[in-house]
Amino acid sequence: MTLKQLDYFYHLCGNPHLSKAAKEIGISQPAVSLAIKALEEELEEQLFSRIGKKLVLNERGRVFREQTRQHFLVLKDAGNMFRTHGFTGDLSVATSKTFSTYLLPGILYDFLLLFPDVHFKKKSANSAYILDAVKNGMFDIGFVESSVNDSDLIKEKIGEDELIIVTGDRSLSLEEYYIDTLFGRKWILREYGSGTRDIFLDKLAGMGLRPDIFMELPEFEEIKNILFENHDTLSCVSKLAVKKEMERGELFQVKLKNLTFSRDLFLVYHKKRYKTLLFRKFTAFVKKRFTLQM
């Protein structure tokens, strides 16, 4: 087997659509198919189940991925160190909505200015999906704001974030309120699995409180649009997510009596993951950026 065959194999592990995987790699679909077929013939094992146009990793494929990936990364990392044209490599990153929209883009941009031959694959999702995807090897690194209690994952705190109650009703910003006095309004929250939602509801549950959730939406922007147009609505969101709207006087913070919401920001990865040179450089870069901001 060759490193190229293995590289194609790991791409397909993360993207079962053959055509999309080939596009990511930058070669033709038939070339990827032939490489995978040759790998399976050499192993005398079928690693994927062919379901329509998808190649879905089967049980033997999962075992092969688990037993070979770390060795592959070591070899690939060694190759990168001896390339004459500079530091290079690929990293797959799964990020929460807050990280993806308000924190990570600038960090990735500045890192690429230093290392233009590096390539990132980035996906935005809720925290529950990210933790599962990192655990199962679909992504190298995850960025989340929710608690991490899986023994297979390493979590490193890199920062903090404040959650606030916001509304389109300016009059609510003029006083302070006990949270339960606001339960008569319509609450719009993120969908199940969101770190923001979990922290807000978990803290209220600890006080024996729970607002009636009028509507659930997957995106911050959708929630903000509802708040703009319906002044009887409230939401709990990251202060980062509404900074510009508050500065423009479009949304307003509702101050609470004796109650605050905050959360830690975490970088997560699998405890058995081999830390390539690129992995070490990037995670150190991220930690430094957050240290400077705090």
Q: What percent of the chain has pLDDT over 70?
A: 95
Three-class DSSP labels, 184-218: CCEEEEECCCCHHHHHHHHHHHHCCCCCCEEEEEC
Report d(CA 106, CA 108) in Å as an integer.
Answer: 5
Q: What is the mean pLDDT of the chain?
A: 87
Class of domain 161-262: alpha beta
Residue 82 phi/psi, 5-degree rounding, is: -105, 5
Task: Average the pLDDT over 180-189 and give the result.
Answer: 96
- 220 burial level (CB within 10 Å; 0-12, 13-18, 19+): buried
Residue 282 backbone zone (phi > 0: left; psi -120 to 50: alpha; other: beta): alpha
Query: Nearest to residue 96, comparing CAs of 144, 50, 129, 166?
Result: 144
Fold of 1-82: Arc Repressor Mutant, subunit A (1.10.10)
Domain boundaries, the chain: 1-82, 161-262
Report d(CA 70, CA 142) in Å as an integer.
Answer: 18
- 175 burial level (CB within 10 Å; 0-12, 13-18, 19+): exposed
**HSE on the CB side for 209, CA within 13 Å?**
13
Q: Which two tokens stand for residue 113?
A: 């200015």
Buried b (16+ CB within 10 A) or exposed e, 233-272: bbbbbbbbbbeebeeeeebbebebeebebebbbbbbbbee
Report d(CA 94, CA 290) in Å as an integer.
Answer: 18
pTM of the model: 0.61
pLDDT at 184 over 60: yes
137 contacts 9 by C-beta, under 8 angstroms? no
What distances in angstroms separate CA 120 from CA 32, 93, 145, 281, one per listed residue?
Answer: 21, 7, 21, 14
Confidence class of residue 10 from pLDDT cuts 50, 70 and 90?
confident
Task: Average the pLDDT over 209-216 and give the result.
Answer: 94
Selected residue with higher pLDDT from 251 and 30: 251
Task: Average the pLDDT over 172-179 and give the result.
Answer: 96
Query: Measured over all CA atoms, what is the biggest interatomic distance in the chain, rounded to whole angstroms?
Result: 72
Selected residue with higher pLDDT from 193 and 175: 175
Of 4-18, 35-49, 55-69, 143-157, the range with the highest mean pLDDT is 143-157
Strands 153-167 and 176-177: unpaired
Report d(CA 87, CA 118) in Å as an integer.
Answer: 7
Q: What is the pLDDT of residues 82-141, one digit of tens each?
A: 554 457 788 999 998 888 888 899 899 999 988 888 999 999 998 889 999 999 999 999
pLDDT at 196 over 90: no
